[in-house]
Chains A and B, each alone.
Chain A
Amino acid sequence: MSDTMPIEEYLLKGGVLTSPDNVTPRYRGELLRLMASFVDSELAGAAGFADTINDAPGIKERIASAKIVLEKTDHAGRVLEIMGSFGADTDRYAVHHPWGARLTREADIGAARQGGDMRLSVFHYPLQGWIDAVVMNMLMGTAGTIQLRELTHVSYQPLAEVFRAVLPREAHHTELGIEALKRIAENEDGATAAREAIAYWRPRVAASFGLSGSTRYETLARFGLRHTPNETLLSEWQAAVDAQLAALNLN
């Protein structure tokens, strides 16, 4: 066993990188891209949910919405700090897109990013009222938890640590959504509205898992930035959502 090993081989064998000094240029590019997607999604998600505070039916619900906005923004900040360690101008980055901006409900953009905004495409669609927001939070929160859990294994240690810290808080946001949805589904009008929202959001959240057989995935897997293919994570999510909706009688 020699003292040296090329970084590419080290990563293929499950090695971990620990500082901006360790990374190769390609790894750096893909790592930054991955982080930008998380930061943009969290900021856009938080911004969109900010309006929901005023749609909330009660004090507890207002607090829950405010908590989600606060914590998602905080999570974005933590990852943005790591981007900063690679040279990103974090002050400028934090405000370089109008995070609250949305397309229309009817826009059909698939999984495509819009311009230089790296948020997942699902965050380009606007929320419409409390029930719609709760459904979207529950569906996307379940997806987010699965996607985040995958990302806790990234080979860049400082980022893996942030994702590990952030995961339980994000999971709790989803739980808040499920609780609220349970109350909504208790009456007939609520259940109807919920079903409509589910029909709208479910395919859009599914698109956030990316493409099957993705070549980008192959590159990321080589770098230890991804470990489970998009298709597998998507199936996991579909199964989880089916189970949740069945339990709420909303399927």
Chain B
Amino acid sequence: MARFHSLQVTDVRRETRDAVVVTLAPQDEDRGAFDFTQGQYLTFRRKFDGEELRRSYSICAGRDEGVLRVGIKRVDGGCFSTWANEELRIGDRLEAMPPMGAFFTAIEPEISKSYLGFAGGSGITPVLSIIKTTLAREPRSRFTLVYANRQISSIMFREELEDLKNTYLGRLSILHVLESEAQDIDLFTGRIDADKCAALFKHWIDLKSVDTVFICGPEPMMLTIAAALRDRGMREEQIKFELFASSQPGRARRKSESAVAADRGAACEATVTLDGATRVFKMPKQGQTLLEAALKNSMDAPYACKAGVCSTCRAKVIEGETEMEVNHALEDYEVRQGYVLTCQCYPLSDRVVVSYDQ
């Protein structure tokens, strides 16, 4: 179950026009819990207009810096990121879950390895943590970073990366790719597409000597680079991805309270959607769960434990009232949004509308 801890904001630094770097301090008893591995992220929660939103941001600090720090880039129309960029102040408190994620490989101090990193925009945040930690703890290793941005002014951590290059002379090389500002070399202008990858691997990067590749960015970039790497013989185990999905989860909408007259019928009309297909059927209010009714009506609804423990059968109640017998897998946060465990769920109202697709 999700456990949130209170962190104090000890610094807020404007990094670019659209991004801030936030330094956080856990309470003494939580220090151990927030001991992160490079490449991990924190999931924050905050109420906006009474509704809870959760968002994840990657830790940008290296393991040896002794701080917990995240980078938050403003997303167009993004509730949390806009608030963080405009209103977050030193001294504020933020609630976060302990660090999560597997976007890292084991550090092996005696071995000399060659790493390649691709970062798109704010995707630099976890990659920066990885670069710092790796260069510090694997003294014989090298790192090449390909960093794609719109223009110079949107490059996060530009100076910090330059400083790292100087600190680790010869061990870190950075290729900036800018979408809309012409650079000296044509290769580095534009987006990272298949042609650009081909040119990069032909003239600038010796893939055969690379041990591990880290890629962090939006979907199109991930696909393009992954394909280019696989085409050139990179094995799946050598490629680590962290997807910064571009689709907005949207504001968490509280399930609307339906003002219906008392529902007294013994049967209920259920409308259930799965994979875009909707079935409407009658079901009793007692003795049969929503899941059982869906299965009986030939819907291949997902389920596993049928005990309210695994949450495979989760669906969203869009209209109507229901009641769960037991709930060991959904958080209050999910229940408030209308999610139910259909294996435990009985209809209370004469009409329910449920979707497995939302």
Contacts and interface: CB of A to CB of B under 8 A. Distances in A.
- Indicate, yes or no, whether A interacts with B: yes
Contacts of B222: 10, 15-16
Given A3-B218, A18-B103, A92 B314 contact: no
Interface string A13-30: 111111101100110111
Given A5-B218, A10-B219, A36 B226 contact: no
A220 B224 CA distance: 23
A6 B247 CA distance: 7
A83 interface: yes
Interface string B281-310: 000000000000000000011111111011
A92 B306 CA distance: 12
B358 interface: yes
B106 interface: no
B242 interface: yes
Contact-residue size bin, chain A (C-beta under 8 Å from the other chain)? 35 or more
- Please report whether the interface of chain B is mostly helix, strand, loop or mixed according to DSSP: loop
The listed residue with most A CB atoms (<10 A of its CB), out of B56, B193, B305, is: B305
B330 interface: yes
The listed residue with most A CB atoms (<10 A of its CB), out of B103, B223, B236, B302, is: B302
Contacts of B236: 152-153, 160, 164
B328 A92 contact: yes
Contacts of A22: 243, 245
Nearest to B192: A1
A7 B247 CA distance: 8
Given A7-B219, A25-B356, A26-B275, A36 B305 contact: yes
A118 B301 CA distance: 14
Interface string B137-158: 0000000000000000000000
Nearest to A5: B219
Interface in B238-258: 240-243, 245-247, 249
A22 B56 CA distance: 11
B318 interface: no
A34 B126 CA distance: 29
A152 B307 CA distance: 28
Contact of B220 (A5, A37, A88, A164): A5
Given A14-B226, A32-B310, A118 B304 contact: yes
A16 B311 contact: no
B191 interface: yes
A36 B243 contact: no
B1 interface: yes
A146 to B, nearest CB: 18
A97 B358 CA distance: 30
Nearest to B355: A25
B257 to A, nearest CB: 23
A16 B230 CA distance: 13
Nearest to A8: B247
Contact of B312 (A33, A85, A164): A33
Nearest to A40: B304
A18 B247 contact: no
B33 interface: no
Interface in A91-111: 92-93, 96-97
B223 A14 contact: yes
Contact of A18 (B242, B246, B304): B242
A97 B306 CA distance: 11
Nearest to B316: A25
B53 interface: no
A161 B246 contact: no
A29 B242 contact: no
A116 interface: yes
Contacts of A26: 274-275, 302, 356-357
B313 interface: yes
B329 A4 contact: no
Nearest to A165: B237
Given A4-B246, A25-B314, A85-B100, A15 B219 contact: yes
A116 B307 contact: yes
B309 A1 contact: no
Given A25-B356, A25-B358, A219-B275, A19 B310 contact: no
Contacts of B100: 19, 85
Nearest to B121: A3
B309 A89 contact: yes
A237 B78 CA distance: 50
A87 interface: yes
Contacts of B306: 115-116
A95 to B, nearest CB: 10
Contact of A32 (B56, B311, B328): B311
Interface string A177-204: 0000000000000000000000000000
B243 A96 contact: no
Interface string A26-63: 10111011001100100000000000000000000000
26 contacts: A1-B193, A4-B219, A5-B223, A7-B219, A13-B223, A14-B223, A18-B103, A18-B242, A19-B56, A21-B245, A25-B316, A29-B313, A32-B311, A33-B303, A33-B312, A87-B330, A88-B329, A89-B328, A89-B329, A116-B304, A116-B307, A118-B305, A152-B236, A157-B240, A164-B237, A219-B275
Given A93-B305, A96-B305, 10 more contacts: A10-B222, A16-B226, A17-B243, A18-B242, A19-B243, A21-B245, A22-B243, A96-B309, A164-B236, A219-B300
- Sorted from nearest, which 3 A-B pairs have the closest CB atoms? A116-B306, A29-B302, A36-B304
